[in-house]
Every structure is written in structure tokens, then in C-alpha cells.
């Protein structure tokens, strides 16, 4: 992917983050009035989660804008990991929200006062579900084009909101129509547990990026398959991959016939880069050229014998 193509994709993540902020503001006002009107613990939990959604969306907006900043003298690989940091901040907020909701729900277990205005609370929750579904659809379209980990974490968070609002509807209905007054706090506890589980899941992608985790095996195999089909390539070793924000990075040593001239070998490398760029437009590739049969003696991966083999060489 060229620099110009990347610049064209960058605003997509920013617009998705802005959409999240706008949605959180809308739902915060709507649920705030509904929580006051219905006295529902489940609705209060939904309100608290939306308040943290707003803060998380603001951090996401900052993270994707920072990640879109071009590489500079101090950050030559760019600022993509700002998205992972924003995602981890979201995880902290979700965890705090879950703890607060659980505490309030446990306190409400001993109360006997029922919720009020069930129709209003249910109507608000249905509006919230519809609005959130639209946001999720837009976020997924952006994720498909950019692979933004911050928007991905935000998407996971809003997916939990759909379930949360559905739970509010069931809790209020059981409380007022079925007379089960303990349903509301019980659903509040269930929502808190769901949020805690969502926080655990959302943290995995961010941590993987910060730790420079390798691509999944299927993606690595597909990448190597494209490279292997290029004429003149005799072997690949020291294949390493990582992800930073919406960018992927891959580097490897490529072996060619040792008798080739520098110019001829360079032409082969160029052909490999072009083929990989066409097949994987979001990947930045770095290739080190080696003569066939060359063995690295200063590679810690070789010494530790932790890498697989391909073409009879260490990857």
C-alpha cells in the first residue's frame, strides 16, 4: 500500500471514532432520563456503561488520530500502537463499570421497591438497540477496510451494549409484569459479569500488538505461499511479522543464486515485493538479500531453535 493510499484510509477510523462519540452522547442523555424515570438498576447499569462508553470513545478518537500521524524521527515505525493503548484504556473503563454495576445490583437485592414506567424503559432500550446496531454496521465496514484495533475494541464494546439493553428490557418486564422484583438486580449482576468478560476479550488484541505477536499461522502461510511462487527465489528464513494499529509489518531473509550480479538479485527482490504488495496491500515488507546457502551466525532465533522450516531453511 502506498503512502497516499494509507492517507486515504486514515480518516475512516477517525470518522468511526467520531460516530462512537456522537452515539454515546445521544444514548447518555436518553438513558439518564430513563434511569431517573424507571428507577431500574439494570437501566442504571446501562447508563453507567454508556457514560464510560463516551469516555472510551473520546480516548479511541484520540488514539486513532495519533495512530494516523505519519512516522517521524522518534517513531520511525509510525504511531500505530497508540490504538492498542487506547484499547487497553477502554478495558480499564469497562472493568470499572462492571465493578460499579455489580456493587449497586448487590445492594439492590434486599430492596423491595419495584421499578416504574416499564413501557418507557423498554422503549428507550429498543431505541438504544436500533441506534447501536447502526453504529456497529458502520464500524464493521471501517474495520474491514482499515483493520483498526481501536475501532475493533470499540465495536466489541458496543456489541455488549446490544445484549445489555436487551437484558434491561427483560429485567424491567419481569419486574413489573411478572412480579419478580428480584429480576432487576439479578440482571444487573449478569450484565456486570458480561462486561468483565468483554473486558478480558477486548484486552487480548491490544496486548498482542504491544507484545509484537506473530500473525496467525494461516496468514503467515498465505504470505509465504505468494513469496514462494516468485521466480528466482531459492529460500526464505528469519520470517518475522507483527501488527501495529491498522498496519502489518513483515520481514525475512530471501536467498537467491549466489552467482547472480547485484543488479539481477535486486530485480528478483523487486518482483517479490511487487507480488506481495498486490496480494497484501496493507503489509509493509522488508527483505534482506542472502546468497543461496548462507547461514546466519548471529541470529538468536537460530541459536534457540524456535523457528519452523520452509524450503529447508529456518523461518
* Whole-structure pTM value: 0.60
Dihedral Cα 200, 201, 207, 213, nearest 10 deg:
140
Beta strands in the chain (DSSP E): 235-244, 247-256, 283-291, 309-310, 313-314
Q: Tell me the pLDDT tens digit for each residue of 180-220.
A: 766 767 777 877 787 777 777 777 777 877 887 888 888 88
Say if CB 251 and CB 288 are below 8 A apart: yes
Q: Per-residue pLDDT for the chain (315 aa), expressed as one digit of tens each?
A: 444 444 454 577 788 888 888 888 888 888 787 777 766 666 676 677 777 778 778 887 887 777 767 777 777 677 777 777 877 887 787 787 778 777 877 776 766 555 555 677 677 778 888 888 898 999 888 888 777 767 777 777 777 677 777 777 777 777 777 767 667 677 778 777 877 777 777 777 778 778 878 888 888 889 988 888 888 888 888 898 888 766 788 989 989 898 889 999 999 999 999 999 888 887 888 898 889 877 665 554 444 444 444 454 445
- Could you tell me how far CA 1 lies from the centroid of its own chain? 21
Amino acid at each position: 500500500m502506498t503512502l497516499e493510499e494509507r492517507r486515504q484510509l486514515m480518516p475512516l477510523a477517525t470518522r468511526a471514532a467520531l460516530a462512537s462519540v456522537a452515539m454515546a452522547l445521544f444514548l447518555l442523555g436518553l438513558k439518564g432520563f430513563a434511569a431517573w424515570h424507571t428507577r431500574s438498576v439494570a437501566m442504571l447499569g446501562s447508563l453507567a456503561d454508556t457514560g464510560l462508553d463516551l469516555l472510551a470513545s473520546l480516548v479511541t478518537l484520540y488514539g486513532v488520530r495519533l495512530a494516523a500521524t505519519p512516522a517521524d524521527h522518534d517513531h520511525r515505525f509510525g504511531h500505530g500502537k497508540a490504538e492498542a493503548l487506547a484499547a487497553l484504556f477502554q478495558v480499564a473503563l469497562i472493568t470499572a463499570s462492571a465493578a460499579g454495576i455489580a456493587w449497586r445490583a448487590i445492594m439492590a437485592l434486599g430492596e423491595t421497591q419495584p421499578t416504574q414506567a416499564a413501557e418507557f424503559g423498554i422503549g428507550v432500550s429498543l431505541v438504544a438497540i436500533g441506534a447501536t446496531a447502526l453504529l456497529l454496521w458502520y464500524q464493521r465496514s471501517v474495520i474491514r477496510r482499515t483493520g483498526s484495533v481501536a475501532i475493533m475494541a470499540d465495536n466489541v464494546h458496543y456489541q455488549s451494549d446490544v445484549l445489555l439493553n436487551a437484558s434491561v428490557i427483560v429485567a424491567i418486564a419481569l419486574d413489573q409484569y411478572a412480579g419478580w422484583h428480584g429480576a432487576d438486580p439479578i440482571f444487573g449482576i449478569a450484565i456486570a459479569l458480561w462486561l468483565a468478560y468483554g473486558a478480558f476479550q477486548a484486552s487480548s488484541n491490544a496486548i498482542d500488538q504491544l507484545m509484537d505477536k506473530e500473525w496467525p499461522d494461516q496468514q503467515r502461510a498465505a504470505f509465504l505461499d505468494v513469496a514462494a511462487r516468485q521466480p528466482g527465489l531459492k529460500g526464505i528464513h528469519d520470517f518475522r511479522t507483527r501488527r501495529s494499529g491498522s498496519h502489518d509489518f513483515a520481514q525475512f531473509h530471501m536467498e537467491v543464486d549466489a552467482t547472480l550480479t547485484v543488479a539481477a538479485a535486486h530485480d528478483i527482490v523487486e518482483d517479490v515485493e511487487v507480488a506481495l504488495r498486490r496480494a497484501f496491500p496493507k503489509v509493509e515488507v522488508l527483505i534482506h538479500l542472502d546468497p543461496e546457502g548462507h547461514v546466519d551466525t548471529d541470529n538468536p532465533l537460530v541459536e534457540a531453535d524456535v523457528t519452523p522450516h520452509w524450503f529447508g531453511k529456518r523461518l
